[in-house]
Amino acid sequence: MSKRGYAASKKLLTGLIGAPIAHSASPAMHERAAEALGLRGHYQLIEVAGADAAGLRMMLEGVRRLGFAGVNVTYPYKEAVVPLLDELAPGAAAMGAVNTVVANNGRLIGHNTDTTGFARAVAPLLAPSGNAVAVIGTGGVGKAIAFALASLKVSDLRIFDSETARAEKLASLLASHGGATVAKSVEDALDGATGLVNGTPVGMLPNRGMPVPAALLHEKMWVADAVYSPLITPLLAAAQAKGARIMTGRELAIYQAADAFELFTGLAPSTEVMGEAFDEVMTARSAAYHAA
What are the catalytic residues?
A: 77
Q: Are 202 and 210 in contact (CB under 8 A)?
A: yes
Return contacts of 106-111, CB within 8 angstroms, 24+ apart: 106/64, 108/60, 108/63, 108/64, 108/84, 109/85, 110/81, 110/82, 110/85, 111/260, 111/263
Secondary structure of residue 181 in the 3-state scheme: strand
Residue type, 58: M
DSSP assignment of 152-178, as one string? TT-SEEEEE-SSHHHHHHHHHHHGGGT
Q: Are 260 and 67 in contact (CB under 8 A)?
A: no
Nearest-angstrom CA–CA distance, 125 and 135: 15
Torsion angle in degrees (nearest 10) through CA of 82, 85, 88, 91 = -30
Q: Are 149 and 117 in contact (CB under 8 A)?
A: no
Using alpha carbons, select from 148, 128, 132, 150 the residue that is nearest to residue 140.
148
